Structure 1
Amino acid sequence: MTVLVTGASGTLGSAVVPRLQKQGYAVRPMTRSARTGWVTADLRTGDGLEEAVRGVAVIVHLASSPGRPQQTDVEGTRRLVAAARTAGVEHFLYVSINGIDRVPYRYYQAKLDTEAVVKASGIPCTILRAAQFHDFAEMLLSGLSRLGPVLIDGKWQLQTVAIEDVADRIAELIARPATGETTEYAGPQVLTFEELARSWLAAKGSKRPVWQVRLPGRMARAIRDGAQTTAAIPAGTRTWRDYLAAKY
């Protein structure tokens, strides 16, 4: 079975491609820039999409552009599903983000619009809403500590997940017939941003202070209220502390 993976060079794609190859799939990674052994196509223009989807049974759609979500995510997905429909693709799996229907944020609205494009495509589909990755939480903490202290809204509730767990979940879902359902997937623990920050600093052996602020606005309030957490099962198995222990 041939599986096309968009966004194959990204953070999640770099884990999904070898995971599916190990499973025995003929994986066709897609990129906008020419790369040996990969198919070249551009969601923003549609160039190369017809060739990219030819002979493909399953599409795992990971490509996204937070800076240009309308062009890449929404319109790009519209071009991709049109080509996939013509090619007779049997299963279209789209990876979205957990809690996007509960957190008011422009990029999240674009992801919701993209989900709607997939659902209306007529192609059997699965939508997997994954929580923020452990790696993303660390990147965010690093950015928030550039000036010395770690400046955070400590009451934010996050349920970060391991990239490897999401790759495993994708492999499980494409091995089954498409259900048309939207499912959430997150890590095994809900932690406050303060807990994330302090355990991160401890793992690094850092004595930077943690300064807490209560961020204003509906988005910040929704995250404090747990809008990006979920009770959905199954959940990932690798905890935030597992991630830190493996890295530090």
Structure 2
Amino acid sequence: MRVLVTGAGGTLGRAVLPRLRTDGFTVRAMSRRPRHDPAADWVVADLGTGAGLAGAVAGMDAVLHLASHAGGGARTHRVDVLGTRRLALAAAGAGVGHLLYVSIVGVDRVPVPYYRHKLAAEQVLAAGPVPWTVLRATQFPAFLDRLLRAVGRLGPVPGDPAVLAQPVDPHEVAVRLAERLGTGPLTGIEEYGGPQVLRFDEAVRAWRAARRSYRPLLPVRLPGRLGRELRAGGLTTSVTPTGRRTWAEYLADTYGGPDRR
């Protein structure tokens, strides 16, 4: 099967490309800027303008759509929503049989501007001309790690202790995406999460221990609907199967764990 991967240079893309090749797919990788990689067939195309999309999808059996512009402003709308529509139309014109889009668990529940755009992109696919699948994944552990480092850079780590998270390893998501491509269009939404649902205070304690950090957690209750949804598990899923790599394993691999020397 010939597969175009948009956003191939991102965190998930770097996990997906070798997985697909290992599983026997013929892979074409897409980015906005030229890349030189002898292991991959890279093409240049821009979702924000549509430039290069027709050539990128030509001859492909499926498109794995990972590209996104985080933020939630005009650029996100142009890339995630309008760009997804451009991609779907180009794919239809090229006779592509499956458009698989990676979204985020909680886009339909958590009131964040970026999530509204991701949800709108899902709706574009559902109304579009190409058989489709949406796979919503929970947050990657590296994202949670970066978040904790950012909010704790000045001392205490502020956060709502009761917020729930479910980190999932991007390589395990890549495996699931390869399986979904092999299965064919779902014409629906599938969720995929990590093996554990953690409270924010639990995640912070493990993170501090792995880093040998003495920065305390500063409890801050998130107000309004956003706080309610996050405490109620808006970023988590009860759907199985799930990934296997835990937050503790990520921390041990990244920082060496609390007993490192």
Partner AA of 1:163 in structure 2: P
Deviation at 1:217, TM superposition (A): 2.4
Show the counterpart of 1:121: 128
SS in 1 for 2:100: strand
Q: How many Å separate the matches in 1 of 2:216 and 2:110?
A: 29
Letter in 2 for 1:56: M
Q: Distance in 1 between matches of 2:186 and 2:221?
A: 41
Q: TM-score, normalised by structure 2?
A: 0.93
Matched residues in 1 for 2:215 and 2:173: separation?
31
Query: What whole-Å deviation, never above 9, does each CA across 1:88-121 have from its counterpart, x for those lacking one?
Result: 0011100000011111121111111100111111
1:217 to 188, 212, 224: 224
Alignment match, 1:32: 32
Q: How many residues align?
A: 248
SS of the residue corresponding to residue 233 of structure 1 reads: coil
| 2:118 aligned to which of 91, 96, 111 | 111
Describe the SS at the equivalent of 1:173: helix
Q: 1:132 aligns with which of 116, 132, 139?
A: 139
Identity %: 52
Partner of 2:83: 76
2:229 aligned partner, one-letter code: A
Return the match for 1:61 from 59, 62, 65. Answer: 65
| Partner residue of 2:179 out of 172, 178, 184 | 172
- Residue 21 of structure 2 corresponds to 21
Segments of 5+ residues of structure 2 without an aligned counterpart are 256-261
Matched, 1:43 2:50: no
Letter in 2 for 1:219: L
Cα RMSD, aligned residues only: 0.9
Quote the Cα distance in structure 2 between the aligned partners of 1:62 and 1:177.
Answer: 17
Residues 6-51 of structure 1: CA deviation (Å, up to 9, x unaligned): 0000111111111111111111010100123410000000000000
Letter in 1 for 2:217: V
- Using the alignment, how far apart are the partners of 2:235 and 2:35 within structure 1? 36
Following TM superposition, the consecutive aligned residue runs of length 4 or more in structure 1 with deviations greater than 3 angstroms are: none
User: Aligned-pair distance for 1:122?
Assistant: 2.2
Mapped partners of 1:157, 1:44: distance in 2:
33
What is the TM-score with the length of structure 1 in the denominator? Answer: 0.98
Instruction: Report the residue type matching 1:217 in the other structure.
Output: G
The corresponding residue for 1:207 is 214
What code does the residue aligned with 1:206 have? S
Amino acid at match of 1:213: V
Q: What's the counterpart of residue 98 of structure 1?
A: 105
Please state whether the residue corresponding to 2:11 is helix, strand or coil.
coil
The answer on whether the counterparts of 2:89 and 2:129 sit within 8 Å (CA) in structure 1 is no
The residue aligned with 1:232 is 239
SS for the counterpart of 1:103 is coil
Gaps of 5+ in 1: none
- Name the counterpart of 2:258: none
What is the distance in 2 between the residues matched to 1:217 and 1:70? 25
Partner of 2:95: 88
1:52 aligned partner: 56
1:155 corresponds to which residue? 162
Encode CA deviations 1:130-187: one digit per residue, 9 max, x unaligned.
0011111101101110101111111101111111111111011001121201011100
Q: Which residue of 2 aligns with 1:185?
A: 192
Q: Secondary structure at the match of 1:175?
A: helix
